[in-house]
A and B are shown apart, each in its own frame.
Chain A
């Protein structure tokens, strides 16, 4: 008897950390004890995207969507919903009114191509991928298309690199195809180093076969027989799922020698990164696969001509590749009908920061930031004010409220001084200090600079020191001038993208939040209170009722006063943690 009901349990990293594994085993046990095992199948899937509400459990065919499920709830879901057809109302998102995914605003504006199988199939079972048209694109390509046909469809689709720079994928493939060599390689760049981004991780965890299939298609198009996936060692679950997927694909003859009897050979090997952001850069990544320190070399020659072990190599990012099977099956023209004039298809974002619905989302290009942050993201946490959105991580920039209605595509973001980037989208509210956040990004790029070229190595450090001065009250007008000079040198003279783009966050924030820098410099004040050196906490005697709450919260015991008498902060010992400010219910603690 076929299954008539399915229970999908998210097994992405975030839900996994919230005991989704335990939920899965208790659901399975409950299904068995209720005698439902012939009718109900419990499946561990990839990420549903709604990480803020995890762990997430979905029941099919009625599409009931349970959020924040605990292991104790498993029995009730089985006994009530599966056995008796009565959904467990208290676990539904937003209460009883919203049972199905289609009713949840978080999903309404999304459109899934890359994440089509995430949260739908069991990523460790190749049969489920195949049932969803998996490996059909590869079969079509190998049996009825020439390499030229494949590249032509990718050209028509308008697909551009999703790693950040947005280079047309078909051009990379064409250059590699045209390069004269008997050995060529395909590399999947899964070295997702942007802090605050986890699109590639979730794709690999939720749908590893889509990437393997795309790599084989790319191999066929450019004439390569060996692929490498360069993946962060920090992603153990994704590595495990890829290893399982590789084994299953080889067993079914979908990878390896003579794929599907067509005579085409292609296999894939995993190579682990070791925590170096610069290895996201193509030539540094190649150096790392070759077993060296991941240092970039000047381009040209581009990897398409001289790449891995000196051979022509096409390097695509995970998200770029995950689009390929769909483009082949539905046609380049279909893909090109989605998105904007210059940017086709969808983009996956890791929506994080001070937003209500953190998670992984996929939207058509051209969706506005306002739709993403307020409709999908559900607005700012705790009713605070939106301040800025940051895209592109340490290589990108901030976008202020006045540009929230900008449709997202490569060109419009670049015009605002940011970049599309790999998909990190971080929302900041009024409590975040722009200068402090940019110091954070620079600290990151300084730490991650490989040190090979001076503009990046010395320039980054100099910029970081200048920003530190500003956040600690030593800033002058000259500091801003110097930042511009150093930034210009880094942009023009750095060897690779890391150094060339490192000044972006600071420059874009100077454009939109120049006033905040000015206040730090001229008034020695940090409006958001993040820059501790510029903040003083005092207690207003006329407002303090002497409730002693602040004194009890103070971690260094520097607040004194009798009960029902105004309290006083000993400024010489105050560490400016702000606990008293947060604790006071009477507005008596002043931050200045």
Chain B
């Protein structure tokens, strides 16, 4: 959830939505409660909810842009900023917390030189903390692009980062 980038003013440009996303919106347009499902699709495609796409969705679904902004910033899952090409998510559920999830975050911050919810200058990596990903038996756990790494110690992190870099 990021609250410091309000979508104000007019879009930078109008955007052509990709074919399948466009079709999905048409399909869901008349169904009640469609907004969150559409936003999921948007984020699946772009990796986040870009400003100009939000304008387009608002127009197509006929909902106020403020409503979209309200929903996007309410739910942790939605992002307003483009994440890195490789997204590292460190689990901070209780089991992982007890077993040193925090140390993993600190070590990653040192290795990558960025803080939580930031992206490296070359756009390769971003780090986020997530709530339980449901692998508590493997704590502490992190995922890179959805791939789970469990039973971690912090000296394994440099290798994991190296493995994904450029990949």
Contact = CB atoms under 8 A, between A and B. Distances in A.
A51 interface: yes
B40 A426 contact: no
B34 to A, nearest CB: 6
A293 B136 CA distance: 29
Given A14-B135, A17-B149, A198-B136, A276 B76 contact: yes
Interface in B93-132: 93-95, 97-99, 130-132
Interface residues of A, number: 54
A440 B94 contact: yes
B150 A271 contact: no
B98 A354 contact: yes
A426 B36 contact: no
A18 interface: yes
Contacts of A440: 94, 97
A196 interface: yes
A441 B77 CA distance: 20
Interface of A: 13-14, 16-18, 51-52, 54, 192-198, 201-202, 233-236, 271-277, 288-294, 309, 350, 352-354, 358-360, 390, 393, 424, 426, 428, 432, 437, 440-441, 444, 450
B117 to A, nearest CB: 13
Contacts of A289: 33
A54 B40 CA distance: 32
Interface in B128-155: 130-139, 141, 146-150
Contacts of B46: none
Given A14-B137, A272-B37, A293-B71, A234 B97 contact: no
A17 B139 contact: no
Q: Which 6 A-B pairs have the closest CB atoms?
A: A51-B137, A17-B148, A198-B134, A274-B75, A196-B94, A275-B76
B32 interface: yes
Contact of A450 (B32, B74, B98, B133): B74
Interface centre among B71, B78, B132 (most CB of A within 10 A): B132
Contact of B132 (A195, A236, A359, A450): A195
B40 A274 contact: yes
A201 B139 CA distance: 17
Contacts of B92: 195
B135 A290 contact: no
A433 to B, nearest CB: 10
A118 to B, nearest CB: 14
A272 B150 CA distance: 26
B36 A291 contact: yes
B58 interface: no
A293 B70 contact: yes
B98 A428 contact: yes
B35 interface: yes
A206 B36 CA distance: 27
Contacts of B135: 13-14, 17, 51, 198
Nearest to A358: B137
Interface centre among A272, A360, A450 (most CB of B within 10 A): A272
A192 B147 CA distance: 20
Contacts of B70: 293
A81 B134 CA distance: 33
29 contacts: A13-B135, A14-B150, A17-B135, A18-B138, A51-B136, A51-B137, A51-B138, A195-B132, A196-B136, A198-B132, A198-B136, A233-B40, A272-B36, A272-B37, A273-B77, A292-B35, A293-B70, A294-B74, A309-B33, A352-B136, A352-B137, A352-B139, A353-B98, A358-B137, A359-B137, A360-B137, A426-B94, A441-B94, A450-B74
Contacts of A424: 94
B134 A201 contact: yes
Contact of A274 (B77, B95, B146): B77
A271 B32 CA distance: 12
A234 B135 CA distance: 12
A291 B146 contact: no
Nearest to B75: A274
A271 B33 contact: yes
Contact of B95 (A290, A353, A441): A353
A290 B40 contact: no
Contacts of B137: 14, 51-52, 54, 352, 358-360
Given A290-B33, A354-B99, A359-B137, 7 more contacts: A195-B95, A195-B97, A272-B37, A274-B36, A277-B131, A288-B36, A437-B94
